[in-house]
Amino acid sequence: MPLSDLARRGEEHFHRHVIPRLRRAGWRPRAVAYDGYGSATMVRVIARVVMRPPGAPAEGPLFQHIPEDLPSITQLREAAMASLLDAQRGWRSFIDIPVPFIPFTVKVGGRKLSAQADRGGYIDVVIRNHNLKPGWHEATITGPAMDTIKAPVLIIPDGPQLGVVCDIDDTVMVTHMPRALVASWNAFVKQSFARQAVPGMAALLNRIQKTNPGAPVIYLSTGAWNVVPTLRNFFERNHFPRGPMLMTDWGPTNTGWFRSGLEHKRTQLRRLMIDLPEVKWLLIGDDGQFDRIIYGDLAHDHGDKVEAIAIRKLTSSEHVLAGGNHVALAEPQVRSLKQSGALVVSGRDGFTLARKLPASLVGPQP
């Protein structure tokens, strides 16, 4: 039996035996809602059910943000104490204990669907004929011994229009950490100010939405789902447009120790094209690892679905931290992009990309 199968079975055995003990200790299932998306005919609702101790939030950063303006030493002391209390609670609840196969019911737009979460506690369902208008709405998720939660969903207007798929790590955000350690860094270091926004990327995405009203921005990452609350804080703090995040799960699978990030991105991109067939996509990524290959292949196979490709060029040090081989990977990636026939631009930051993209995407140059 492969070692990955043993690890997966060990994980399942652990969860199966620890959940009853947590219940006896007062822990209860809590659903963590993620932003979903949909069209006039379908909506995708995404969440995860995990065990949480009494009084703990279903999600949230480990440390509270300290206010930028503190008028008194007393407030500073109170903010520091609140952060310490959050840290104490956060370390205990960092390890997500998923609740596999728990039954749930989703209601949205007058429609209802009942099903079971998967082995990782994930809820990922599609509801059709919801009668929702374009814009943000909320689906409700209920289950046994579980508080009702609301899961945001973005309904995208009918008709041909632009959409944006944007990578996260090294494209809009840098941590100056080796790629192999980014997952741990994201998980344990919860302050959004511990990450640095790539200059001009928030402005670029906002310009695209201003020029193309209703254009969705969907963030696609190989990061784990449990960092979504931290990323929400980061995006809000740095004025990035709100949008669904499509992350992945870490851990053993049927085929290996970890899920393939490359296949995750390819699968989600294909699904977006199926779910939103009238959207033509601007694909934004970086040249650190596989974005150029993934985007180039997609544009080659589905040229009518790709409006343009924008690639952020990493610095030499960022290439090293990203784990990419700049010399070895450059030529096949460039050939793939050239063969795709799509418009391709590149630059060090969002300001450069905005200057190179056509006015139909970003509006007139300032």
Question: Which CATH number goes with the domain that contains 129?
Answer: 2.60.40
Domain that holds residue 179: 161-362
pLDDT the model gives residue 19: 84
Encoding tokens for residue 105? 């019911």
Please tell me whether residues 122 and 255 are part of one structural domain. no
Does residue 74 lie in a domain region?
no
Please tell me whether residues 115 and 167 are part of one structural domain. no
Please tell me whether residues 193 and 142 are part of one structural domain. no
Kindly report, residue by residue over 53-72, the tens digit of the pLDDT: 887 766 654 334 434 444 45
Please tell me whether residues 278 and 320 are part of one structural domain. yes
Does residue 61 lie in a domain region?
no
CATH number of the domain that 173 lies in?
A: 3.40.50.1000
In SS3 terms, the chain reads as: CCHHHHHHHHHHHHHHHHHHHHHHCCCEEEEEEEEEEECCCEEEEEEEEEEECCCCCCCCCCCCCCCCCCCCHHHHHHHHHHHHHHHHHHHHHCCCCECCCCEEEEEECCEEEEEECCCCCEEEEEEECCCCCCEEEEEEEEECCEEEEEEEEEECCCCCEEEEEECCECCCEECCCCHHHHHHHHHHCCCHHHCEECCCHHHHHHHHHHHCCCCCEEEEEEEEHHHHHHHHHHHHHCCCCCCCEEEECCCCCCCCCCCCHHHHHHHHHHHHHHHCCCEEEEEEEECCCCHHHHHHHHHHHCHHHEEEEEEECCCHHHHHHHCCCHHHHHHHHHHHHHHHCCEEEEECCHHHHHHHCCHHHHCCCC
pLDDT the model gives residue 65: 40
Does residue 36 lie in a domain region?
yes
Does residue 91 lie in a domain region?
no
Please tell me whether residues 201 and 125 are part of one structural domain. no
* Phi, psi dihedrals of residue 74, rounded to the nearest 5°: -60, -45
Please tell me whether residues 47 and 111 are part of one structural domain. yes
Please tell me whether residues 229 and 136 are part of one structural domain. no
pLDDT the model gives residue 53: 83
Tell me the average pLDDT across 121-132: 96
Please tell me whether residues 145 and 183 are part of one structural domain. no
> For the sheet containing 103-108, what is the strand order?
111-116, 103-108, 135-143, 146-155, 28-38, 42-52, 122-128
Please tell me whether residues 26 and 113 are part of one structural domain. yes
Please tell me whether residues 338 and 253 are part of one structural domain. yes
Does residue 48 lie in a domain region?
yes
Final residue belonging to a domain, choices 155, 176, 196: 155
Final residue belonging to a domain, choices 130, 155, 180: 155
Please tell me whether residues 138 and 217 are part of one structural domain. no
Pick 23 or 163 by higher pLDDT: 163
Does residue 87 lie in a domain region?
no
Give the total number of structural domains in the chain. 2
Does residue 76 lie in a domain region?
no
Does residue 62 lie in a domain region?
no
Final residue belonging to a domain, choices 155, 179, 201: 155
Pick 100 or 87 by higher pLDDT: 100
- Whether this prediction's pTM lies above 0.75 is answered by yes
pLDDT the model gives residue 230: 82
Tell me the average pLDDT across 227-235: 88
